[in-house]
Amino acid sequence: MDLHKITLVADWLQASESTVILTGAGMSTESGIPDFRSREGWWKKINPMTVSTVDALENEYELFHGFYSLRLTDLKTYHPHKGHHFLAEWENQGFVKGIVTQNVDGFHQEAGNKSVHELHGSLRSIFCSDCGQASDEGAFLNQDTCSECGGHHLRPDIILFGEILPQEVWGKAIRLIEESDLLIVIGSSLQVSPANELPFLTNGKKVIINNEATLLSEQFDLQLEGKAGDILEAIDEKRKGGEIHDDIENTKRRT
Ligand code: APR
Ligand code: ZN
């Protein structure tokens, strides 16, 4: 872990008036939830066009339902990890203005963040795709029909490929980022637009924390490669003025 970069980010966070965090699926892999484009990612096993489109919802409902009910059931087993809790603590202490997330797992709210903008919706809210009537997880998992219209297509309120993005959420996210003086991207390949354009709306400093370099990483002021949880922990320890517990650091202290 690059201690100099950790110290820089901790200083920028401490000095910032308005830090905004933009997260992707890499923020939840340490909770046990696969991301999409890494070696173990969902899209390495399943062609997204067969499950994550309106066509799949309407014409391949069994496939659609199987994919999303598996992901929804996972949320009963997996929960936010230490990285989510640091972000909640930073918002609580006034260091972070808000979270803009591409994730649909609700982990930021579960960890305690209040200002969360879900660009791609949420697995946790269910509605009838035939009449729009709100429904619930149990009815979706049981493949019940809609209580209002008897329709057979209950679905999670997430944005499928090709669907319109939730304009109100996007408007708020854009304003938040435009007003930020520090934007930290965590765990995203930045391959999906328009989310991958958001980091460049800030007039402030841009940091990316990711397991691997992305095609856009060079455009950031700072790139930290590694696991989100460990890096956020190290930034938090530095921010609090503590020593960073890192192998290199401990070796130095022992000699
Ligand atoms: N710590 C840091 N980075 C990680 C970790 C981790 N523990 N685990 C994975 N990553 C990185 C991966 O290396 C990858 O670059 O997170 C990134 C995740 O990228 P994607 O899988 O493409 O996920 P994301 O960028 O969120 O995808 C955007 O695509 O399919 C759609 O709707 C879906 O919201 C999703 C969107
Ligand atoms: Zn209905």
Rg of the chain's alpha carbons, rounded to an integer? 19
Is 120 considered catalytic here? yes
Predicted confidence (pLDDT) per residue in 214-255, tens digit: 999 999 999 999 999 999 999 999 999 876 655 444 444 333
Contact 146, 128 (CB under 8 A): yes
Please give the CATH architecture assigned to the domain spanning 1-32+80-120+165-255: 3-Layer(aba) Sandwich (3.40)
Q: Whole-prediction pTM value? A: 0.94
Q: CB within 8 A of 10, min separation 6: which ones?
A: 235, 236, 238, 239
Predicted confidence (pLDDT) per residue in 89-100, tens digit: 999 999 999 999
Instruction: Tell me if residue 161 falls in helix, strand or coil.
Output: strand
Contact 36, 161 (CB under 8 A): no
- The answer to whether residue 205 scores a pLDDT higher than 50 is yes
Predicted local confidence at residue 6, as pLDDT: 98
Predicted confidence (pLDDT) per residue in 128-161, tens digit: 999 999 999 999 999 999 999 999 999 999 999 9
CA–centroid distance, 129 to ligand 2, in Å, is 7
Contact 27, 83 (CB under 8 A): yes
Of the candidates 79, 120, 152, 153, the residue annotated as catalytic is 120
Predicted local confidence at residue 1, as pLDDT: 83
Pick from 185, 188, 230 the residue to mutate for probing ligand 1's pocket: most ligand atoms within 8 Å of its CB. 188
For residue 166, cis peptide bond before it (omega within 30 degrees of 0) = no
Cα separation, 189 vs 37, whole angstroms:
8
Predicted confidence (pLDDT) per residue in 29-78, tens digit: 999 999 999 999 999 999 999 999 999 999 999 999 999 999 999 999 99
CA–centroid distance, 63 to ligand 2, in Å, is 20
Cα separation, 246 vs 191, whole angstroms:
31
Predicted local confidence at residue 243, as pLDDT: 63
pLDDT, greater one: 168 or 246: 168
Nearest atom in ligand 1 to 209's CA:
2
Q: How far is CA 156 from CA 11, 30, 36, 120, 219, in A?
A: 40, 23, 18, 11, 35
Q: Which residues pair with 231 in a beta bridge?
A: none
Q: Where are the domains of the chain?
A: 1-32+80-120+165-255, 34-77+125-158
CA nearest to 177, candidates 155, 205, 157, 149: 205
The CATH number of 34-77+125-158 is: 3.30.1600.10
The conformation of residue 228, written as its DSSP 8-state character, comes to: H
Same fold, 1-32+80-120+165-255 and 34-77+125-158: no
Predicted local confidence at residue 162, as pLDDT: 87
Question: Residue written as tokens 């997996």?
Answer: 78
